[in-house]
Structure 1
Amino acid sequence: MTAITNRYDFVLLFDVTRGNPNGDPDAGNLPRLDPETNHGLVSDVSLKRKIRNYVEIKGGGQPPLAIYVQEGSILNEQHRKAYVAHRPGDPKVGSEKKLNPKDDIEGRAITSFMCEQFFDVRTFGAVMSTGINAGQVRGPVQLGFAQSVEPIVPQEISITRMAATTPAEKSQRADGAEEGNDRTDNRTMGRKFIVPYGLYRVHGHVSAHLAARTGYSDDDHALLIEALGAMFEHDHSAARGEMSSRRLVVFKHSSPLGNAPAHKLFERVSIGRSIDGEARPIDRRLDNYPVARAYSDYAITIDREGLPEGVEILDLI
């Protein structure tokens, strides 16, 4: 497959309703926050995980759509596959805990094998020099952190259980019930944090220059776009509530190096509030400013006037 020859920049909007889009393990799984603004955050790693999961379902885990970083996998054993392919019959390949390429030619061949086999390696890149050395790859697709359009107010919700864990606890509950006291034991099972509603925005970039190194093709790019639109459909859970991709705006450049700075293109995508049927700037100082509780509370506008020569806007969702 031929690598892409166009640069792309894109804006993805997604939302969450009554869920935790990305918990922070260092803060008791509280939804990630910017401490200065209280805007919600979702890490690039979280979004890449969802893309990987979608591609794994779509491709059945088979090359060239196999996934390198997946739950329970041993990365060095993934690297070993490349050595087995390039050193057939070599007994050391199947037993050595450390392997290195014999020379630069073999090193490039082993890294190329990993790119050919694994979608996420040729898309996002990977550091594969851990013991069994398969090199390092800088991927052509990069995502930033997603940030909520407005500040979020996480809610803490306690959850309880009705079943007892031991006979003694069951007896204690029965004694408490006879005395008319249903609070004699602690039935708290845990706590959940949810965001009542939040609209998030993330920016992404696709480099044709780096795609030439990994073999990231037009077919891979089409699959990435498909995954961005559908990745939340296969990631539903009670903890994450309802999450959906809402809008995907792609800026396609006619050249590999690009025809305009990415930040100038991103400024063309504006998000305001839909109030009384009119799009208004987001401003908490407005009187009777309603709290957003649905995607329909927002108005998305795209400035298509005076586009730089060689730039095309693709409104894909």
Structure 2
Amino acid sequence: MADLVKNRHEIVFIYDVKDGNPNGDPMDENKPRMDETTGLNIVSDVRLKRTIRDYMGTVQKAERPEGYEQEVFINGDPVTSEQRAKELISDITDSKRFDRQRASEALLKKCIDLRLFGGTVPISKLNMSITGPVQFRFGRSLHRADSVFVQGTAAFVSKEGNEQRSFSEKWQLPYSCIAFYGVLNQNTAKETLLTDADVDFLFEAMWDGTKDLITRSKMEQLPRLLIDVIYDEEKNFHIGELDKAIELKSEIQEERIRGAKDFSLEVSELKGLLYEYRNNIKKVRCRIDPRLKLTLNGKPFEIEGLLEGKTEKLEK
């Protein structure tokens, strides 16, 4: 029997990138997305979800709730959503006695990304529109960042007969430390049949999937901090904007930051909020890169003290 999600979750995920492009804008020369007013680097929620889907599509969990599968509905194949749905549940969609409820449940139990993020399945007999229980805001860097234009020499000439090799060009960020904020709505989770095992796999995919992005533009992406605040069962409450309660502190100009050694994250406001609403919180789960420095009122701080008696490690 699968353990369906019964608790609201509030999520903060921080990772960084060095000499790369975490999310290029195809409408603007594939430049890193920037907020021109604040100078902050922006990463879309779609990019994060793609990271999660890519990981889930390649890493198969040995243990899953009975009757549940780990297919990824949006897997990058060049097909329509209708074609993909029919491919996954053809035994039901091709049946003369089509059962809408059975088809909906079968698709949800088969596809973990539909259980997490929802989606639209425009089959004439089904026409599902699923609101995902897990929603992320756009990620933003915790500091101002500069994008730079880099040129290099290509490996080959651009045309047969040419002797001079062409140039490669790209936009990248010397460094960016990015924070994502998300909420898991336990009420919507019931409708998508989301399980606690799915949520644990989500966090694994966020952490390890970020490490797996080994491409030219994302070679040095590392997860630094993951916080999962779990509220009491069936409680329709969350604090909100927990990412805003974490402040990056550095002795050098923000645009000159080049790595985790150049700053610390001040968590005094976050700790205060969690303590203020402690009676609504079941527990706080955390995973941290040991190279990341945390401070509490300017002094070194260990993540285990974030909420006394209710903080535990987020295991893989």
Normalising by structure 2, we get a TM-score of: 0.79
The residue matched to 1:6 in structure 2 has which SS? coil
* Aligned-pair Cα RMSD in Å: 2.5
Match of 1:145 in 2: 138
Alignment of 1:1-317 (within 5 A): 1-59=2-60, 64-74=69-79, 75-81=81-87, 84-86=90-92, 90=96, 106-129=99-122, 133-169=126-162, 173=163, 185=164, 187-263=165-241, 265-267=242-244, 269-275=245-251, 291-302=256-267, 303-305=270-272, 306-308=275-277, 309-311=279-281, 312-317=283-288
Shift of residue 83, structure 1, vs aligned partner = 5.5
The residue matched to 1:36 in structure 2 has which SS? coil
Shift of residue 250, structure 1, vs aligned partner = 1.5
Task: Give me the whole-angstrom Cα distance separating, in 2, the residues matched to 1:130 and 1:87.
Answer: 9
Shift of residue 229, structure 1, vs aligned partner = 1.2
Contact 1:271 1:300 in 2 (8 A): yes
The residue matched to 2:179 in structure 1 has which SS? strand
Where relative contact order (Cα < 8 A, 6+ residues apart) is larger, the structure is 1
Task: Give me the whole-angstrom Cα distance separating, in 2, the residues matched to 1:261 and 1:15.
Answer: 25
The residue matched to 2:59 in structure 1 has which SS? helix
The residue matched to 2:156 in structure 1 has which SS? coil
The residue matched to 1:13 in structure 2 has which SS? strand
Task: Give me the whole-angstrom Cα distance separating, in 1, the residues matched to 2:144 and 2:176.
Answer: 8
Contact 1:38 1:151 in 2 (8 A): yes
Shift of residue 69, structure 1, vs aligned partner = 0.3
Contact 1:255 1:310 in 2 (8 A): no
Could you tell me which runs of 5 or more consecutive residues in structure 2 were left unpaired when the two chains were aligned: 289-316
Contact 1:3 1:218 in 2 (8 A): yes
Shift of residue 117, structure 1, vs aligned partner = 0.4
Could you tell me which runs of 5 or more consecutive residues in structure 1 were left unpaired when the two chains were aligned: 91-100, 174-184, 276-281
Q: What letter corresponds to residue 134 of structure 2 in structure 1?
A: V
Percent of matched pairs sharing the same residue? 21
Contact 2:135 2:183 in 1 (8 A): yes
Task: Give me the whole-angstrom Cα distance separating, in 1, the residues matched to 2:58 and 2:112.
Answer: 12
Q: What letter corresponds to residue 55 of structure 2 in structure 1?
A: Y
Distance 1:88 1:23, change over 3 A: closer
Contact 2:250 2:262 in 1 (8 A): yes
Task: Give me the whole-angstrom Cα distance separating, in 2, the residues matched to 1:225 and 1:83.
Answer: 27
Task: Give me the whole-angstrom Cα distance separating, in 1, the residues matched to 2:203 and 2:33.
Answer: 25
Q: What letter corresponds to residue 271 of structure 2 in structure 1?
A: R
Task: Give me the whole-angstrom Cα distance separating, in 1, the residues matched to 2:90 and 2:155.
Answer: 54
Contact 2:10 2:230 in 1 (8 A): yes
Task: Give me the whole-angstrom Cα distance separating, in 1, the residues matched to 2:69 and 2:93.
Answer: 20
The residue matched to 1:26 in structure 2 has which SS? coil
Distance 1:59 1:266, change over 3 A: same
Shift of residue 113, structure 1, vs aligned partner = 1.3
Task: Give me the whole-angstrom Cα distance separating, in 1, the residues matched to 2:94 and 2:33.
Answer: 48
Number of residues paired by the alignment? 275
